[in-house]
Amino acid sequence: MKKVVTGIAFLICMVWVQAAPPVVIDITRFGAVGNGKTLNTTAIQKAIDECHQQGGGKVVFPAGNWLSGTIVLKDQVTLQFKKDARLLGSTDINDYQNIDPFTDGLGIDVGWALLVAVDAKNIGIEGEGAIDGQGSKLKEQQIATDTRPESQRWGRRPFLVRIVRCENVTVKGITLNYAAAWTSHYFQSKKINIENVKIVSHGVAHNDGIDIDGCQEVHIKNCDVVSGDDALCFKTTSSTMACSNIVVSGMRLKSNQGAIKMGTESMAPFENITITDCYIYDTNNGGIKLLTVDGAHLRNVQISDITMVNVRTPMLLRLGSRLSVFRKGKDSQQPTGTLENVVIKNVKAQAAANAQLTPPSGILITGVPGHYITNVTLENIEITLAGGGTVENAQQQVPEAVDKYPEVKTFGPLVPAYGIWARHVKGLKLVNITLHLDSIDRRPAFICEDGQDIEVDGRKIPETIGKPAIIHLENIKNTLSK
């Protein structure tokens, strides 16, 4: 009987241990002070370390303004921000660490961050509060002592959130404000869920919103991003891990640069990516930009159900040969990549009259000589444009810019088609394309140079007296127009 009782007691003990609630630690337990002036880096880090050592749980930020330098998130720990809680980034640049350095697409050393996780599992950032990098204030203090040109100086400023080689990451409900550089950067991480995140981050250069860099199994939905730089950007700054198996939906995006972008850093593949149901507005440098210029294979990408309002140049697809390397001593230059099997459909865009190209154009698609963009379908695309192009504009020669930084303006000051201009393409399908003009444009609606297997099926294009042609094809093999 004694043995039976002992066995039952053991089982009850085991059940109690398994059912024990996760650890919850308030940062004030370690002396954090929420007055916006006291530097709490050590106190917050102690709370995270203690939670991690006890097997994981939640580290709680109560209402208050919690000033800090770099803090490191550990396995099994979720940071929970209560209503009116703000984690404030220190304005002293020396309070930040760079745990995993690399160079960005402009060749600048970057990687410092306020909140960073490296090689961690089962981590999260959640709640009704905010993380605020105080980017403009930090910049003001930095330039008082850093006399380098701004193009070199900005890289020393910290990202707001940086997730490096992590697995099972949840970022939910949080507000991210005013980073000193990129707002959130996820590098070579797996099983990421980003949901109902609000980002307002502008005021200094390079304020990207969400950067997904060589990550896999990613879900992003119902986020609202207002960014000084690219809003939602996919990168591969290393050749060793692709951006793949990614689903994005329900985004609201405003950007001083690109709204939805792949590249410019583009060494490993972008593949199996689906983006749907997004609203893009007041965006200054491209609504959808798919760029592979450093050797990446960009393939099997589907983008659909997109509305754009007041967007400069709705789309740019670019396969180029810049061939940069971003991880010094850890990577080598890649050969020119590929851009293939892309479907963009159900897009309605109102293009801005004040654009990078003058007069403006809707869509640019271009590879480089010997490297063709292959099997791209544009279906149910409706674009309203300002017009204003002349017969002389229709003769414009567009630079190849084979190894240049890939931007719309790289191909300026204008392109010779107002609707779609394509070059070095194979298997381009244009299905149900509708174009509207606010004023007469005497350039062709569609130009394709150096192409093969071009199909145009269904179009509604304004008739304009005095233009050379509605569709102009040059050096083309196998064209079907219905």
Sign of CA dihedral 143, 145, 149, 153: negative
Share of the chain above pLDDT 90, in %: 88
Greater confidence, 380 or 20? Answer: 380
Residue 7 has a pLDDT of: 53
Can you tell me whether residue 466 is helix, strand or coil?
coil
In DSSP notation, 368-379 reads BTTB-EEEEEEE
pLDDT at 12: 44
| Buried residues in 196-210 as b, exposed as e (16+ CB within 10 A) | ebbbbbbbbbbbbbb
- Please give the Cα distance from 307 to 388 (Å, whole number): 24
* DSSP assigned state of 97: B
pLDDT at 4: 44
Position with higher pLDDT, 6 vs 465: 465
Beta bridge pairs of residue 116: 72, 162
pLDDT at 299 over 90: yes
Band of the pLDDT at 20, cuts 50, 70, 90? Answer: low
- Say whether 155 sits in a helix, a strand or coil: helix
**How much is the pLDDT for 477?**
86
pLDDT at 5: 45
pLDDT band at residue 248 under the 50/70/90 scheme: very high
Res. 18: pLDDT tops 90: no
| CA 348 – CA 382 distance, rounded (Å) | 5
Q: Tell me the residue ranges of DSSP E strands in 9-127.
A: 23-26, 35-39, 57-61, 64-68, 71-73, 77-81, 85-89, 102-103, 109-110, 113-118, 121-127
Q: Which pLDDT band holds residue 146 (cuts at 50, 70, 90)?
A: very high
More confident residue, 195 or 15: 195
pLDDT at 13: 47
Tell me the mean pLDDT in the region 201-228.
97
Is pLDDT at 326 greater than 80 in this prediction? yes
Per the prediction, the chain carries an average pLDDT of 94
pLDDT interval class at 17 (50, 70, 90): very low
Provide the pLDDT for residue 22: 84
Q: pTM of the entire structure? A: 0.94
Alpha carbon distance 118, 344 (integer Å): 35
Dist CA 331 CA 480 (whole Å): 43
Q: Say which residues have a Cβ less than 8 Å from residue 136's Cβ, sequence separation at least 6.
A: 178, 203, 204
Q: Which two tokens stand for residue 363?
A: 């869509």
Per-position b or e across 124-159, b if 16+ CB within 10 A of its CB? bbbbebbbbbbbebbbeebeeebeeeeeebbbbbbb
- For residues 476 and 320, the model is more confident at 320
- The arithmetic mean of pLDDT across residues 246-270, rounded, is 98
SS3 category, 3:
helix
pLDDT above 90: residue 116: yes
> Across residues 278-297, what is the average pLDDT?
98
Is pLDDT above 80 for 21?
Answer: no
% the chain with pLDDT above 70: 95
Residue-wise pLDDT tens digits, 83-111 = 999 999 999 999 999 999 988 888 889 99
The answer on pLDDT for 446 being more than 50 is yes
pLDDT of 468 strictly over 60 = yes
